[in-house]
A = this chain, B = another copy of it.
Amino acid sequence: MKLYDGGRAPSPRRVRIFLAEKGIDIPKVAVDLGKLEQKSKSFSQLNPMQRVPVLELDDGTVIAESMAICRYFETLYPKPNLFGRDALEIAKIEMWNRRIEFGLYIPVQAVFRHLHPAMKEMEVPQVAAWGEANKPRAIEFLEIMDHELASHRFIAGDRFTVADITGLVTIDFMKPAKIELPENHKNVRRWHAEIAARPSAGA
């Protein structure tokens, strides 16, 4: 199998960190997002959504979408568990994973894509007003996250899960989007420092 990977972009990084936490190493194929290789004809045949990451199995089966790839490996290699062990834990991890995606990742992505000059060719049309509208949304969500992390070491409870990985790549995505983490969000800062210090964060 091989993983079509996309360098510093947050979604491929999410999968790389997940695999590092599992201790799984698979061959990677670099897709140059700067050259819009993900929109090429050959890549579009692999994934019509024109996005990385994509996992290609040895028989040619394609699995796209970061969370689908992670769930594939979670099922094959259940340890360490990153998606939850019982109904309530599974639900809480999914809840926080999705809250971060919808409440933070998508707003940060909108700010980056609609306001960053480098995204002009990728995001057509760039709608600056939409980028601006998403800045306060990201900041609002960080308050919710900070409140949650005041009473929990990790975002979905007392242990590291896939929701923390989603949180890490999203917070780090704020840098190219030029959104600053407010100084007063001490719990988010404490949590981020801990997750970013794990060896997997460098994957």
Q: Is the CB of A71 within 8 A of B48?
A: no
In the complex, per-residue mask of A64-93: 1 if CB is within 8 Å of any chain B CB, else 0: 110111011101100000000011101110
Does A10 interact with chain B (Cβ within 8 Å)?
no
Q: Is the CB of B49 within 8 A of A67?
A: no
Q: How far is the CA of A69 from the CA of B144 in the complex (A)?
A: 20
Known A-B contacts: A48-B144, A68-B95, A127-B130. Give 7 more (CB < 8 A). A64-B95, A65-B94, A65-B95, A65-B99, A69-B91, A71-B94, A125-B133
Evaluate whether A91 and B103 lie within 8 angstroms (CB atoms) in the complex, with A65-B98, A129-B130, A144-B48 already known. no
Q: Give the secondary structure class of A's interface.
A: helix
Show 17 A/B contacts (Cβ-Cβ < 8 Å), sorted by A: A48-B144, A49-B103, A49-B144, A63-B95, A65-B94, A65-B99, A67-B94, A68-B92, A68-B95, A71-B87, A71-B90, A71-B91, A71-B94, A72-B90, A73-B87, A127-B129, A127-B130
Residue ID in chain B nearest A73 by CB atoms = B87
Contacts of A90 in B (CB 8 A): 71-72, 75
Q: Which residues of A contact B (CB under 8 A)?
A: 48-49, 61, 63-65, 67-69, 71-73, 75-76, 86-88, 90-92, 94-95, 98-99, 102-103, 106, 125, 127, 129-130, 133, 144, 147
Evaluate whether A88 and B65 lie within 8 angstroms (CB atoms) in the complex, with A125-B133, A130-B129 already known. no
